Structure formats: structure tokens, C-alpha cells
Amino acid sequence: GQSLEQPSEVTAVEGAIVQINCTYQTSGFYGLSWYQQHDGGAPTFLSYNALDGLEETGRFSSFLSRSDSYGYLLLQELQMKDSASYFCALTSYNAGNMLTFGGGTRLMVKP
């Protein structure tokens, strides 16, 4: 099976940079994704890493190291609207490419 571990909660100040870590155990996967979910809302896709290294999308960047079974999401220039839960997810080696999610990290951005 697959499992992913994330910190349950992170707090940061508006304008700062925050890193949300994700460690995983798996026998194989295609890539690591990150999803954002506001309270009461649907998860929305943020980023995907198939290869080791950094992927940058605006204020968000995501990193993957397969050798370390580790990834992170980096959020820069934090805004109040970034307060949400963030989930890392592995894309499985199967026909459906279904996602296995971590438990989520709740990010609180303070003024």
C-alpha cells in the first residue's frame, strides 16, 4: 500500500514564506501532486512533480526527491486567502491513476 505523512498544522504570517513537507512510503508511483482545500470547499489542483526537482507555478512551488521519499510545497508571499488545508497525493501505478492522499496540513495565515 501507500502512505503519506504531513504536519497537521502550520502557522505563518502574511507576506512570509512557508514550506509544507510530505514524506511517503510506496512501492511505486507516477508522481506527487498537491491540492488545496478551503473549509467547506472542494480540493483544487495546485502542482505536480513527476521528476525530482522543483516545479514553480506563480507563488507556489513544489519539490520532489524520490531517493528521499520526500516532497514539499513552498508558498511565497503568503496572503490571507492562502489559509486552507493542503494535501499531498501520490498518483498510483494502475490504470486509473487514482490518488492516495496524505492527512492534510492546515495552514493558518495571520496578519
Partner 1 sequence: GAGVSQTPSNKVTEKGKYVELRCDPISGHTALYWYRQSLGQGPEFLIYFQGTGAADDSGLPNDRFFAVRPEGSVSTLKIQRTERGDSAMYLCASSPGRLDRRNEQFFGPGTRLTVL
103 part of the interface to partner 1, by CB under 8 A: yes
* Among 11-19, 42-50, 57-65, 70-78, the segment contacting partner 1 (CB under 8 A): 42-50
23 part of the interface to partner 1, by CB under 8 A: no
* Among 13-21, 39-47, 57-65, 69-77, the segment contacting partner 1 (CB under 8 A): 39-47
Nearer to partner 1, 39 or 111 (CB): 39
Number of residues that bind partner 1 (CB under 8 A): 25
7 part of the interface to partner 1, by CB under 8 A: no
Measure CA 37 to chain center: 11
1 part of the interface to partner 1, by CB under 8 A: no
* Among 10-18, 58-66, 75-83, 85-93, the segment contacting partner 1 (CB under 8 A): 85-93
If DSSP states are collapsed to H, E and C, what string results for the chain?
A: CCEEECCCEEEEECCCCEEEEEEEECCCEEEEEEEEECCCCCCEEEEEECCCEEEEECCEEEEEECCCCEEEEEECCCCHHHCEEEEEEEEECCCCCCEEECCCEEEEEEC
